A and B are shown apart, each in its own frame.
Chain A
Amino acid sequence: MKTAESLGSESSAPVFTEPRRYGRWASAAGVLLLSYLIAKSFYTNPFIEHSVIGEYLFHPVILGGVWVTITLAVTAMVLATVLGVILGLMSRSSNPVLTGINRAYIAFFRAVPLLVQILIWGNLSLFFQRLTLTIPFTSITLIDLDTNDVMTTFVAGALGLGLHQAARMSEVVRAGINSVGRGQFDAALSLGMQRRQVTFLVVLPQAMRVIVPPAGNEFISVLKATSLIFVIAGGDLLTNAQNIAATNLRVLELLTVASIWYLAMVAIATAGQRLLERRYSKGYSGDQTSTSPIRMAVQKVSAWLQR
């Protein structure tokens, strides 16, 4: 029984006290000091013009690049996730045609470098000048498009990034599905559920717990990989920053601007990932205790203030 009341010196029951963690305070102070010194050395570095950083941080070209980076990454990731789930499910099929397609897809799209894939999609019209879809053995044409009209930089980038990422996501999904115990299938099947119900009601929700953390990693990779569209004259954040730097020769400053934006985007993406992880951890106990330093510091300070 814990009691916070002091019963005076005659109290016989000892009171539970949080030990004074001097080591922790000292190391926290050391880390803060080190961070300050590093930041200061960057800030006072004579080779970096801060006014230029400020001037370009919200420049329309930079903001346009941020927008392209975000929309491209999200589009590619959605494509990759949907396709990745389909492929991941295919890999567990008993139908050899499906597993064959899955293996061939992964083998190809994981192997060919992303840069090459983007180059091919961006210059698809070198291979196919028109994209047509006709019903075989007839002359009925369903779709007839000029390839260059369809393959804008955005479409080419989204396809290149998305299809490559789908190969990686399919392995992540497969690992997630594998992590769900056989017993879950048994229970769902014995209730009489159809296989589609088993997949979407029982298996995938549980697999998400294993899928979300690496998927969050993959999204952050995609955010940064969008810079590869430079090779088809795409206008993502890094490319735009470099193009500005090529004109005004302020390479370090523009790269700093780009880095600041990447930090912001990744921070938001990470927060989103944590939210998703929490949502899919409903019902699982054990790994919920958060030792986020910010949260603990806030708690300590507010506790101290309330004394």
Chain B
Amino acid sequence: MRRSRRTLIALLAVFLIVSACGDDAAAPQAATDALPPATEAMNGELNALLPDDIRAAGAIKAGGPVTEIPAVYLEEDAVTRTGYMTDLVNAVGGLLGVEIEFTDMPFASLIPGLQRGSIDMTLTISDKNTHHEVLDFVDYLGNGLGILVAAGNPNGFDSLESLCGHTVAALAGSVAVGVVTEANESCADPMEIKQFPGISYAQLAVRSGQAEATFGPGATLGYVSANLEDGTVFEVAPGGPYTVQPDAFAFLKGNDELRDAVQAALQRLVDDGTAARILEKYGVDPGDLYNPIPINVTE
């Protein structure tokens, strides 16, 4: 009796060891990017734009998930935040003379977080004109939406119309979902739109075949298709970019002082080329940077 119990445990151990390992996309070289030389005068000037309570606290609370490669994600030590949004907002904080306090929150909790004041700004909500009643967006990147498919583009997608009759994955509550839903209305053979809680889940669905394409921000799609397993897993379908989904920092409406301070700091970063350098480091095209930095550009 004891022998067969041991054999069972051994068999089970073998079974458990057989598992698929997740692949980590190669992170870009961790180069220290230099903040622009901040003079006393510059810091003081921008710092004065901040609302009193934030200046007193010495920190801006920023919320966003950490699973949006290459925008906001974690280094291999699984602790250090990195990504172009992270670096940009840190640079903004440096110019304003305050710390940035990051809070890891899922996409769906960001707006409630703003509303109850547990965060002052969000990192990963893209500018969406239906939100302008409640939020103000400081836009910096005209990120176009694109279609990500399995390598080889087996269904030959090349336009929004070509998605008709197929399964499309997208981030729940994002601009992308709104765009495909609208496109779906003119489909003879309707799309099946699957809404996922994070962009990485949507990409996983394409990888496992649960969805035939995912529709999302171009910067992410480009990065993932180029870098995941040396670019052998995904590719960006031709025919983009569709609808601009601007990357922005979002604030609760009425927070004009903080909004304007961040806008001014971002403008400075665009002017002296820091923003472009940050984007290039993560493989994002700096040509999409807004100049001047607008507010609520999708109005």
Contacts and interface: CB of A to CB of B under 8 A. Distances in A.
B111 A96 contact: no
Given A126-B20, A231-B201, A249 B111 contact: yes
Interface stretch (A36-44, A203-211, A239-247): A239-247
B296 interface: no
Interface string A94-130: 0011001100100010000000000000111111010
Given A101-B8, A125-B210, 19 more contacts: A96-B1, A96-B4, A97-B8, A100-B4, A104-B12, A124-B208, A125-B208, A126-B207, A230-B172, A230-B197, A232-B210, A233-B201, A239-B195, A242-B108, A243-B195, A245-B108, A247-B177, A248-B130, A249-B134
A251 interface: yes
A96 B5 contact: yes
A151 interface: yes
Given A104-B12, A148-B210, A151-B210, A231 B195 contact: no
Contact of A126 (B107, B173, B197, B208): B208
A233 B20 contact: no
Nearest to B178: A247
A153 B172 CA distance: 16
A231 B210 CA distance: 12
Interface in A240-279: 242-243, 245-249, 251
A47 to B, nearest CB: 9
Contact of A246 (B8, B134, B173, B207): B173
Report the contact-size class of chain B (Cβ under 8 Å from the partner): 35 or more
The prevalent SS among residues of B at the interface is helix
18 contacts: A96-B1, A100-B8, A101-B8, A108-B16, A123-B205, A123-B208, A125-B209, A125-B210, A126-B20, A127-B19, A147-B209, A153-B194, A232-B210, A233-B194, A233-B201, A246-B111, A246-B172, A247-B173
Interface in A124-144: 124-127, 129
Nearest to A246: B173
Nearest to A152: B210
A251 B111 contact: yes
A243 B169 contact: no
B208 A243 contact: no
Counting chain B CB atoms within 10 Å of each CB, the highest count among A96, A124, A153, A233 belongs to A233
B112 interface: yes
Interface of A: 96-97, 100-101, 104, 108, 122-127, 129, 147-148, 151, 153, 230-233, 239, 242-243, 245-249, 251
Contacts of B112: 251
Contact of A233 (B8, B131, B195): B195
Interface in B1-45: 1, 4-5, 8-9, 12, 16, 19-20
Contacts of B5: 96, 100
Contacts of B107: 246
Contacts of A231: 196-197, 201
Nearest to A101: B8
A248 B128 CA distance: 11
B20 A243 contact: no
Contacts of A151: 210
